[in-house]
A and B are shown apart, each in its own frame.
Chain A
Amino acid sequence: MDTVFGMDAIVFWIIATMAMVNVTGALLGTFLVLRRMSLLGDAISHAVLPGLALAFILTNTREPFPMLLGALVAGLLTVLLTHLIHRYANVPEDAAMGVVFTSLFALGVVMITRVASHVDLDPGCVLYGVLESAALDTRNIAGMEVPRVAVTLSAVFLATVVFVVLFWKELKIVSFDPQLATTLGINADRVHYLLMGLVAAFTVAAFEAVGSILVVAMLIAPAATAFLLTDRLHWMTLIAAATGILIAILGRNIAAVYDAPVAGMASVVAGGLFMLAVLFAPRYGIVARRLAQVRLGLRISGEDLLGLAYRWQESGARASLTASGALEAAGGGVVSRVALWLLRRAGLLVKSGDSVRLTASGEERASRLVHRHRLWEAYLAKHLPLPDDHLHSPADRMEHFMDSDLQRQVEEQVPEPHGPSGAPR
């Protein structure tokens, strides 16, 4: 059996072909997702059909070049018609796009059935493509058997990479602020149509190999996944591309285990990776945000305990503060308990018997906290017409969030913080 890089040649070409599809889709998709035009890929991938039909009618072949050209024309026509209808018929852009692409798709179907009724359209091929058999349809290039689809795809892949590298700063500014781009003399429309032309070419080149699901999925999923993982454009592009390669490898290997269509499995993997990012992305993931909330809750609860102990000692109460009383006053529940445990571990609070007491370092921390609280009370008293007994609770919230910069500004405005506001609560 033929091998490439020590791998079964067919397996290699399946993965390589799909990786090219995925990386191309990821690069183009990055800019579609950022410009909130994710579904344009879906629209174009349907709307290219009449272009393909026309190219077939005119040339009577299924050679890649006329097909790509036909698709390009139809793809750009979709974008142009959507734009014109939106602009001149005063129809919302998404509705204009929906009308244009469904009409063009239907037109394509009619053209194909009229002219080429003998052509067999297998729904399975449309959805999943024919990657497995396409890998067998090879040509000899420089002594190596290369699948035909891989040749076409590598051309689109290279064109996309060159486009993104050459027009990097134009793509960046046109996606972020098209108005500024225009005033700088960078033609936003030209960049837009170049991008759309590549999306159309990509759609056609990839369609035969991997089918419509993966084409649309790859224009959205890797970019959307990368969006959650970083907040720099160049990293987003690279992570999206890497995600695309990962999807190709995982998709083919999992499909082999379950004997499932490779492209279909790859789309499932893409969705799975996106869900993982939704859950576990370091900053924007659900888990990370939940953890940050828990950490904040612990900090606030701990600071409440410190403040409470400080005010208790300051008031000169004879009875000592009981742990259970403190926990109850700090909101009770698991969070307060954990916060108390953390304070004791950090050596800010000691517990002897049932009573709790601040250590020296705990007292220092607490005094700064209470200072912030009283500063804010004084500030509110000065600037808001609030009765005195309404000052405590807003200050109680603010004491946890006042950073040194804000504190300095408040101190400039209120030289004298409020004294202890009555008995400890």
Chain B
Amino acid sequence: MLRLLWLVPAIPLASALALAVLRLSQKTVAWLGTCSITASSVISLLVSISFLNAPPASGAYTQILWRWFDVNGLRPEIALYLDPLSLVMMVVVAFVSFLIHLYSTEFMSGDDGYGRFFAYMNLFVGCMLTLVLANNLLLLYLGWEGVGLCSYLLIGFWYRDPANGRAGRKAFIVTRAGDTAMVIGLFLLFHDLGTLNIQDLMHRAVLQWPIGSSGALAAAFLLLSGAVGKSAQLPLQTWLPDAMAGPTPVSALIHAATMVTAGVYLIARTHTLYSLAPQAQFAAAVIGAATLLMAGFSALTQHDLKRVLAYSTISQIGYMFLALGVGAWPAAIFHFMTHAFFKALLFLGAGIVIESLGGEHDIFRMGGLRQKLPVTFWTFLVAGCSLAGLPLITAGAFSKGWIVWGAYSAANGSAELWVVALAGVFLTALYTFRMIFLVFFGQQNSQVTRKPGPAMVIPCLILAFLSIAGGYIRTPFASYLSTVLAWNPGITRSPSFGEMFSEAIVALVFFLGLCLAYVFFLRRRDYSTVLASSPAGSVLHRFWFSDWGMDWLYDHLFVRPVVWIAKVGKGDPIDGFYAGVGRLNEIAWRGLSLSQSGRLRWYAAAVAAGTIVLIGVVIFS
């Protein structure tokens, strides 16, 4: 059964090709586009079951399909590598993709680009599965760039609006900054260690590089830059909020559940390298902590439902980076899984809300949708609770509580990081319930024009179930993953409080956030208005609303200088120099030819004047 593994990425890629090349009716497109992902996820489940029942002796299964090329010692293979880590990623990606494709069949119906949409989406799933299953970094990079391309194509999917195209280009260019660093990291790894096969690479790195050596540090930092770009972490997070210009299923699949967590996967996959480079690992923790706070504050001020969710995604991936950075490896992957469920569900719910209100994005113009869209309300509420971390019940509480505990107790953890993680819990609860109260409670401000059909509701129900049930598998999940990705406990110090205490504080902070959101955004809406219109409040509000001025900063720091250089360059300044030399010669020529008047007496006068000057020079010098 394991030998079917190659079909998991191959089927979506093949169907993407078919959808791109053939001209099909909308019904056939929906059928083909969804069935390919269904088949892929079913096969991934079958492969996982057989992997779990009879794990290979080495703990991992490698399927070599063919040698990609062979150039001067670089011999990457098209080969798939299945171990507990990639298995989790593969199953989650395939399954969430399947649900979102199902949702899209109805969401996108009637759109002009229906076939194009499914072709891109299938291509994305194929590339994402390639990325996850790749056994060498080069193939991983192929998938990495493939998902980047699909992200670009799908953000600018409604290309008739220039703003969407701009958002797509922004996403592509900003992530390219990280990807460039990453590819340099790959060059460095190949140059120093002579292979790109991930497992060989990790073995050789341990043998060749002592802990904290410059080679390991450089490689780890470069790969971290790639991960930061892809996962929208500080300082490359500016593209993700704008990426919400794409259709909502795209936001759910690519910009929440799967692609943006590729950076987390990359670091987890190469975690051996990070244990050789503790500074780089700690940098990941700091980046994660800073990002989760900044994005949390930004999420608190947004009006656009999808932008709230986008900042929330950035913030949650910040949690994953924090977990990676402190050495709580399984917590990061566990949070990836639960986040994929509840954040996909939140986006799907947001898609239903926006559709049913005829394209209204502003949460302040929504309200009272509880009665009109009961199923959506309940599923959205479940996902929201999971995101905010309603203790004991929801999956998000389990994963986030685990990360918060890791921020304190794992190898790189500290009390400061623990406090930051707790502040993040508070912010998450606050902005999540602000969103829920504004959208679903209060009085109704706009008319529901369209009710969601079964293809949109069923994925929501399944994801709602997973958003709750996903949390209960934490213990088996951790023990299963421990063979490849073990929790890295802080050995040098004994914690001054236990995990139960940490979880209790998380629960307390969650309820604090919930109560505050209840007071400010449901009971006494005027309080929040007063707070936001006070001088300090309005400044902070504007500052957070604009993502801490990062876009403004980058606009002035990078975009404008480049545009200015381009504008200057358009006039060919270097050509201008040579054209100037030519012009000077021409002017001189005109002057000299003017003196050739052909008038005899002028010539005579010039000769006389010249002679007088010469004699004068001779006499007076």
A, B from the same assembly: no
